[in-house]
Amino acid sequence: MKRMVGMSSLIFMLSVWLVGAFLVGSTLVAQEAKGSAEAPEAEVEQAYTMRCVACHGADGNSQLPDMSFTDGVWKHGSSEEDIAKIITEGVPGTAMMPFEAQLSPEEIQALAKYVRQFDPKLRGAEKPKG
């Protein structure tokens, strides 16, 4: 009988420990998921700063010909798809090089969305005319 009580206590303690470990693990996973949901915005800003600012300006308002995102002129299309294609393939005969080998498709899509927000007419627009 004493042995049964000792075994029951051990099982109970083990159960409490497992439930506690599960709850702590679940909390950490939830916090990590929240952090990763917030990270892409900072990551896309960093990618833009590292790869785009030199030609397009910090606020997309480049003074170089055909490189401003704020003047409403989108020579090669203004949809996210158009911009993603330009980022992916570059524009032959211009300084715009392809970034397909340097960025993942998800990063390219995020950059395309980020770039569109510089143009006041396109900010929030779903399907702009390109």
Domain boundaries, the chain: 40-116
Query: Are 86 and 76 spatial neighbours (Cβ–Cβ below 8 Å)?
Result: yes
Q: What is the pLDDT of residues 7-64, one digit of tens each?
A: 666 565 655 555 555 554 544 444 444 444 445 789 999 999 999 999 999 999 999 8
Q: What is the DSSP letter of 57?
A: -
pLDDT band at 123 (very low <50, low <70, confident <90, very high): confident
Q: What is the DSSP letter of 90?
A: -
Classify domain 40-116 by CATH architecture. Answer: Orthogonal Bundle (1.10)
Pseudo-torsion of CA 19, 20, 24, 30, nearest 10°? 30
Q: What percentage of the chain reaches a pLDDT higher than 70? A: 65
pLDDT: which is higher, 127 or 73? 73
Q: What is the mean pLDDT of the chain?
A: 79
List the structure tokens of 113.
């969305």
pLDDT of residue 4: 57
Integer Cα distance of 69 and 128 in angstroms: 14
User: What does the angle CA 10 – CA 13 – CA 16 come to, to the nearest 5 degrees?
Assistant: 150
